[in-house]
Amino acid sequence: MKKTLLLALAGFIGTAAAAQNEGTLTFMNSLPQVTYNNPAIMTKYKLSIGLPGSSIAMFYSNNGFAYKDVYTKVNDSVKADLSKLNSALKPNNYITQAMQIDLFRFGLQITPKLYVSLNSTAKIYNRILLPKDLTNLFINGNADFVGRTATLSPKAESVSYLETALGGSYQVDDRLTIGARFKLLKGVTNVTTQNATMNLSVDNSYVLSANAGMDVRTSGINNFSQSNFDLGAHAKDYFTNNGFAIDLGATYKLQDRLTIGASLIDIGSIKWKNNTYGYTMDPAKAKYTFSGVDLTKVVNGDNNYLNSIGDTVQARFKVKEGAIGSYSAPIPGKMYLSGMYQVRKNFTAGAVFFAEKFRGRYAAGVTVGVNKHFGRIFSAAGSYTVASNSFNNLGLGMSLNLSPIQIYMVGDNLLRMPLSGSELNSFINSTKFFNVRLGLNYVFKWRDKMKKADTNNVDPSSDDDKGLRRKMYKNYTPDKTRKGINRE
């Protein structure tokens, strides 16, 4: 059975999750969305507009296992291979899914040194931590835990919010460009695992000791468990969770051809007020050691003893739930460090180190890649990314620049899809890290002038600093490419 790309992607994303970092996007300087990775970067176009759906991004990452680790083929029959899965797992397996949809985007170069942008973006981020010990318990039982303590508690994080951001980049001098974006956040739903522990110890005599604790906070979710909840009547409540975040970035030209960049993205938090509901378990109470049936009590005829075990465990590990007060929770923050080298005209090679920090997890990756402009019409990027414990991520970026329309697609593991053969199976089976951003922008006026310091966005048509331009892009004509002379 064959399915279309969109169906496949939708299904794939629907069962997985992603970290939000995008390495290849940094190379795609033809896209206005490149500023999402560093607000200091000035885009190619003086004016860009994005309407709802102009940019849809989906992310998935799983630092533990790929689908191929889940099954084994036996005589052309597919069987779940739990041992294989278990051996593939890392101690802490983070499965992340995220999505971003631009509702509106506007970018304008006001002066040659100043570029401003305004955007409204809906963001969804879900992450679950699956400890290997937990899956090991179901796959191999608890015999593996003898003599040690197993960590069993999963942790879930989820946040959805609407971001309205006003940003700008300013060229300070020939080398330095700085940028910032200020974001007003409206939280929609949230799940924050402030604390969740479930430890199980098994000693050499098989004595089981468990202790647990939980402090999970939610906002906007418990309403949906109420049968009489009317979302329409309470829609306004879902925009009472205010927050603020900031993006900071800078690029610096170290040499004529070498520019480095650094940025911090989504540094902020949301104060959750609407329908806040908590689930707690007191770690001081949630402890129990079961050494077996207490022979002393049984021998002494304590008939209620066996029943009391269940009652005691139930009482000690009872999850209390109820409405809670407001609370603040950060949004996933990201960091990018980039270095771009202008190898030749319209051809840039570079590397991007990126990281995400969110609720106790620091996840990093690195992308090396190249970017090539084929005139103004088509820009492409190729990349290789190491992230989420996976090393097979070949990225691809493409933009078809048919001003005023720009159609694009970029992703860190996109190129491996066509390279995997006639079917997506081998791609899906081996994918642990994947993201894609695609959409349609309205773009106007490829910038004729470009400050020489902005080598991340080198404009071959810039009239400023003609010495540099002549040196770098001699005989370059923006509207068409002259074969044979378009090189230094």
164 is written with which tokens? 């309205």
Q: Does 487 bind another protein (CB under 8 A)?
A: no
For residue 449, the minimal CB distance to another protein (Å) is 24
Give yes or no for residue 425 binding another protein (CB under 8 A).
yes
Per DSSP, 308 falls in state: H
Question: By CB under 8 A, is residue 310 in contact with another protein?
Answer: no
CB contact at 8 A, 48 and 442: yes
- Show the tokens assigned to 474: 């001699």
Is 2 a binding residue for another protein by CB under 8 A? The answer is: yes
From the number of C-beta atoms within 10 Å of its C-beta (0-12, 13-18, 19+), residue 440 rates as middle
Shortest separation between residue 357's beta carbon and another protein, angstroms: 33
Pick the piece of the chain touching another protein (CB under 8 A) from 157-165, 204-212, 270-278, 362-370.
204-212
Q: Is 307 in the site for another protein (CB under 8 A)?
A: no
β-strand partners of 165: 119, 183
For another protein, the binding residues in 370-409 under the rule CB under 8 A are: 374-375, 377-378, 380, 396, 398, 400
Is residue 418 a contact residue for another protein (CB under 8 A)? yes
Comparing CB distances to another protein, the nearer of 90 and 372 is 372
Q: How far is the CB of 341 from another protein (least distance, A)?
A: 23
480 touches another protein (CB under 8 A):
no
| Residue from 164, 429, 430, 461 in contact with another protein (CB under 8 A) | 429
Least distance from C-beta 244 to another protein, angstroms?
Answer: 39
Q: Does 140 bind another protein (CB under 8 A)?
A: yes
Strand partners, 120: 104, 164
To another protein, the closest distance from the beta carbon of 359 in angstroms equals 31
349 binds another protein (CB under 8 A): no
Residue in 327, 373, 424 with CA at minimum distance from that of residue 68 = 424
List C-alpha distances in Å: 411 to 20, 125, 334. 11, 18, 17
Rounded Cα distance between 420 and 413, Å, is: 11
Q: Is 467 in the site for another protein (CB under 8 A)?
A: no
Binding another protein (rule: CB under 8 A), the pick from 235, 284, 299, 323 is 299
Say how many residues make up the chain: 488
- Measured distance CA(388)–CA(356) in Å, rounded: 11
The Cα–Cα gap between 223 and 220 comes to 6
* Alpha carbon distance 231, 261 (integer Å): 44
Residue list 84-113, contact with another protein (CB under 8 A): none
- Return the residue matching tokens 């949301």: 270
Kindly state whether residue 4 participates in binding another protein, applying the rule CB under 8 A.
yes
Whichever of 328 and 425 has its CB closer to another protein, that residue is: 425
Which of 91, 67, 69 has the alpha carbon at shortest distance from 144? 91
Q: Which of 109, 184, 125, 119 is nearest to 439 (CA)?
A: 119
Please give the sequence-ordered ranges of beta strands (E in DSSP) within 236-275, or none if there are none: 241-253, 258-272
Q: How far is the CB of 62 from another protein (least distance, A)?
A: 16
Query: Based on CB atoms, which residue is closest to another protein, 294 or 465?
Result: 294
Would you say 47 or 400 has its CB closer to another protein?
A: 400
Instruction: Please give the size of the binding site for another protein, defined by CB under 8 A.
Output: 61
Please report whether residue 341 would count as binding another protein according to CB under 8 A.
no
Which residue type occupies 310? G
Q: Is the CB of residue 410 less than 8 Å from the CB of residue 400?
A: no
Q: What is the DSSP string of 8-67?
A: HHHHHHHT-------SGGGG-TTSGGGGGT-TTPPPSEEEEEE-TTSEEEEEEEESS--G
The token pair that represents 32 in the structure block: 């206005």
CA dist 460 and 115 (Å) reads 19
Q: From 2-10, 216-224, 320-328, 330-338, give the range in contact with another protein by CB under 8 A.
A: 2-10
**What is the smallest separation between the CB atom of 88 and another protein, expressed in angstroms?**
15
Q: Is 485 in the site for another protein (CB under 8 A)?
A: no
Stretch that binds another protein, among 36-44, 140-148, 228-236, 353-361 (CB under 8 A): 140-148
The answer to the question of residue 424 lying near another protein (CB under 8 A) is: yes
d(CA 10, CA 16): 10
Check: CB of residue 105 under 8 Å from CB of residue 68: no
Q: Is 226 in the site for another protein (CB under 8 A)?
A: no
Taking CB under 8 A as the criterion, the residue among 13, 66, 417, 458 binding another protein is 417
Where does this chain bind another protein (CB under 8 A)?
A: 1-5, 8, 67, 70-71, 77-80, 82-83, 138-144, 146, 202, 205-208, 290-301, 374-375, 377-378, 380, 396, 398, 400, 414, 417-425, 427-429
